[in-house]
Amino acid sequence: MCGIMGYVGRQEAAPIIIDGLRRLEYRGYDSAGVAIHDGTGLAVTKAEGKLARLAAVLEEHPLAGTFGIGHTRWATHGVPSDRNAHPHTDPGGEIVVVHNGIIENFLVLKEALAAEGAEFASETDTEVLAHLIAHEYDGDLLEAVRRAVGKAQGAYALVAMAKAEPGRMVAVRMISPLVIGIGDGEMFLASDVPAILHHTRDIVVVDNGEMVDITPQGWRIETLAGVAVERDTLEINWDAAQAERGGYPHFMLKEIFEQPQAATETLSGRLLDDGSVELEDVHFPDGFVEALDKIWIAACGTALHAGHVGKEVFEHLLRIPTEAAFAHELRYRNPLIQGVTLTVAISQSGETADTLAAAGLAKRLDSRLLALTNVVGSTLSREADDILYTRAGPEIAVASTKAYLTMLLGEYLLALKIGRDRGVIPPALDEALVRGLRSLPTKIEEALKTEEEVVAVAGHFVGHEDVYFIGRGLDHAVAMEGSLKMKEISYIHSEAMPAGELKHGTLALVTEGTPVVVVLTQRDLYDKTVSAIQEVKARGAFVIAVAYEDDTEVLKHADEALRIPRVHDLLSPVLSIVPLQLLAYHVAAARGHDIDQPRNLAKSVTVE
Ligand code: G6P
């Protein structure tokens, strides 16, 4: 996830672009850059770090010109640095490009270009696009971009300018968002509405698979196949703060709804058509996977809850003993990390002090260290032997949602990779999982449609001070995360436990009307969990179940059901968590809380 901004008109472009990027910094802020066309030539300035650094450089060395594009980056390929910052050009400086998202086949394209003698100045996939467009360019930017993107695969949005065509911007949307802003003799392009709202409220939304051709006088959309598209202009009447949240009342809700796209990006380029799993920064030494005795997972909070899912998945698929441990416990536990081990340290930020300490300990005990993290260049990623980036994009709300979901996907990818190398996953199961993983972005969209039912169900929680989440196996792992979401933002005391554990104590707390959430997806454990539902129902509990849409039994036992699409049981956590995130959100909203910044908590805990 990154922020893109483009301007063509009569005003100085650089200040307008910087102002727009500032409003897109929520999309990433590890480096930034602009390219300005002054009517005769192109000039590029970029700087590692937050946008303020770029703004300071431009203040000292201003770039004049009334056409330009800019970018605030959230690294996916290549560490944050001046070199890897956008915009990127071809070696001759004829074409300049900013880009958001991932070009899946960039290595293949890069190697082909390199074989013809091309030299690259950065490690990014974006630079490959600049080369490709320049290669195709014969005086018409639109056609050159069309031919170039015909060779690229992935989920992305890009904007390009050509030195020979001042005042023209060409853009493409393939999943990553893009909007056009219509001014008077000036036009804007951006990843999101807030970037341009101070200049115009007339917006055109670009759809997937569409190209945009823009000059100061107007805009044109056509499909990649060249068919002209008619599109109405929208008039936006949000205020500026609301716009930064994309019209959502809170970042948390926005991030919940970004999950289909986040999942697409996590999987992008990693599950290849030939069935292989390509994890670009995971390079196990020869013989390592075959000899692996044990997997340790170290993490805190939501990341550890993702780890509990990972434990179940690794043990089921790989038959390798796996322990998911609180990083703050592990670091002082004198753990039995011995033999051939892999420690998977999971952390959204990659900066949590306890997780870093546990990871450091594992390394000192000769474990191989794999970082499953969202932040490129984070301390954890620098210390790890292998890295699996979740690519969820910046997460602003303290309560983690899309980072959790993409951590789960990272674990499935890792399990498939290791399982294949060990030859332990039966082909039919392997194939079902690959098919299931590919279907997830669409199914997450479906799961988000539970919101209406969730709002109705949330009313049952608002007046309560104690709620319980239960499930078995993978459903228990999800129940833990659902419960954490509930308590951290609604401030309702919430506990999660395996459904079979209820009767050993907690049942004493269940009285008339106590809300109990049951996650009920695992076929093998279904009847057992139903017994637990009956135990709480007999004490007057109000039971809300998360169940598959085709489960015809569930409402014989539960009072309400939140339905998710059917998927392979091993993958169900990716869907069953969605209504639980929405439930926590709507209960907290109904209680009037500061959802994005709950009391006493912090997004990243960098102290012990
Ligand atoms: C804090 C946050 C949690 C998060 C945990 C671990 O406690 O409030 O939401 O799960 O840290 O953070 P990490 O960045 O390591 O995933």
Q: Residue with the nearest Cα to atom 5 of ligand 1?
A: 301
Show the ligand 1 pocket: residues with CB < 6 angstroms. Answer: 300-303, 347-349, 352, 355, 398, 400, 601-605
CA terminus-to-terminus distance, the chain: 30
DSSP state of 571: G
For residue 124, is pLDDT > 80? yes
607: left (phi > 0), else alpha (psi -120 to 50), else beta? beta
Q: How far is the CA of 256 from the centre of ligand 1 (A)?
A: 16
| Confidence check: pLDDT of 28 > 90 | no
Domains of the chain are 3-244 (3.60.20.10), 253-444 (3.40.50.10490), 449-590 (3.40.50.10490)
As a whole number, the mean pLDDT across the chain is 94
Query: Are residues 115 and 135 in contact, defined by beta-carbon separation less than 8 angstroms?
Result: no
Closest CA to 25 of 268, 194, 201: 194
Range in 54-58, 80-84, 296-300 the model is least confident about? 80-84
Indicate which residues carry an active-site annotation.
Answer: 2, 603
Nearest by Cα to 153 from 168, 121, 175: 175
Cα 596 to ligand 1 centroid, rounded to whole Å: 14
Q: Which residues of 352-368 are buried (b: 16+ CB within 10 A; e: fewer)?
A: bbbbbbbbebbbeeebb
Which residue's CA lies nearest to atom 15 of ligand 1?
Answer: 347
| pLDDT at residue 237 greater than cutoff 80 | no
Residue whose tokens read 């698929």: 317
What is the per-residue pLDDT for 96? 98
pLDDT at residue 11 in the model:
97
Instruction: Report CA-CA distances (Å) from 142 to 139, 172, 220, 224.
Output: 9, 10, 11, 10
1 band by pLDDT with thresholds 50, 70 and 90: low
Per DSSP, the chain holds a count of helices (H) and strands (E) of 19, 25
pLDDT surpasses 80 at 268: yes
pLDDT, one tens digit per residue, over 384-438 is 999 999 999 888 899 999 999 999 999 999 999 999 999 999 999 999 999 999 9
Q: What pLDDT digit, counting tens, does each position of 440-494 carry? A: 999 999 999 999 999 999 999 999 999 999 999 999 999 999 999 999 999 999 9
**For residue 247, what pLDDT band results from cuts at 50, 70 and 90?**
confident
Give residue 373 CA to ligand 1 midpoint distance, Å: 11
- pLDDT score at 518: 98
Average pLDDT over residues 40-53: 94
pLDDT at 225: 96
Ligand 1 atom closest to Cα of 352?
Answer: 15
Average pLDDT for residues 234-246, to the nearest whole number? Answer: 77
Distance of CA 226 to the CA centre of its chain: 31
Of all protein residues, the one whose alpha carbon is nearest to atom 8 of ligand 1 is 603
Q: Which of 28, 9, 429 is nearest to 191 (CA)?
A: 28
The CA 605 to ligand 1 mean position distance, Å, reads: 7
Q: Tens digit of pLDDT for each residue in 497-531?
A: 999 999 999 999 999 999 999 999 999 999 999 99
CA separation for the pair 602, 414 (Å, rounded): 29
Instruction: Please report, as a single letter, which amino acid is at residue 331.
Output: R
Q: Kind of pairing, strands 67-73 and 42-48?
A: unpaired
**Distance between CA atoms of 500 and 281, rounded to whole angstroms?**
40
Tell me how far apart the alpha carbons of residues 22 and 25 are, in angstroms, rounded to a whole number. 5
3-state helix, strand, coil in the chain (%, to 5): 40, 25, 40
**Pick from 254, 350, 282: nearest CA to 1:** 254
Backbone angles phi, psi at 462, to 5 degrees: -55, -40
For residue 213, which phi and psi values (nearest 5 degrees)? -120, 120
Mutate to test the pocket of ligand 1, among 309, 351, 352 (most ligand atoms within 8 A of CB): 352
Strand residues in 92-208 grouped as ranges (E): 95-103, 154-162, 169-174, 179-182, 187-190, 202-205
How far apart CA 492 and CA 464 sit, in angstroms, is 7
Contact between 219 and 231 under an 8 Å Cβ cutoff? The reply is: no
Averaged pLDDT for residues 201-209: 91
Q: Which residue has the tokens 């939304």?
A: 205
The pLDDT assigned to 74 comes to 84
Contacts of 513 (CB under 8 A, 6+ apart): 460, 464, 540, 541, 542
Residue nearest to atom 11 of ligand 1 (CA): 604
Other beta carbons within 10 angstroms of residue 298's beta carbon come to 33
Q: Looking at the predicted structure, is the pLDDT value of residue 556 above 80? A: yes
Global pTM reads 0.82
Nearest to 607 by CA among 277, 292, 353: 353
Bridge partners of residue 494, in order along the sequence: 467
To the nearest 10°, the Cα dihedral for 516, 460, 399, 281? 50
Q: Whose CA is nearest to atom 2 of ligand 1?
A: 603
Question: Which residue, chain included where needed, has tokens 């996650």?
Answer: 519
Q: Average pLDDT for residues 594-607, to the nearest whole number?
A: 84
Distance in Å, CA 303 to ligand 1 centroid:
7
pLDDT at residue 102 in the model: 86
Probe residue for ligand 1, chosen from 297, 330, 348, 373 as the CB with the greatest number of ligand atoms within 8 Å: 348
Spatial distance between the Cα atoms of 204 and 239, rounded to a whole number of angstroms: 18
Query: Could you say which DSSP state residue 277 is in?
Result: B
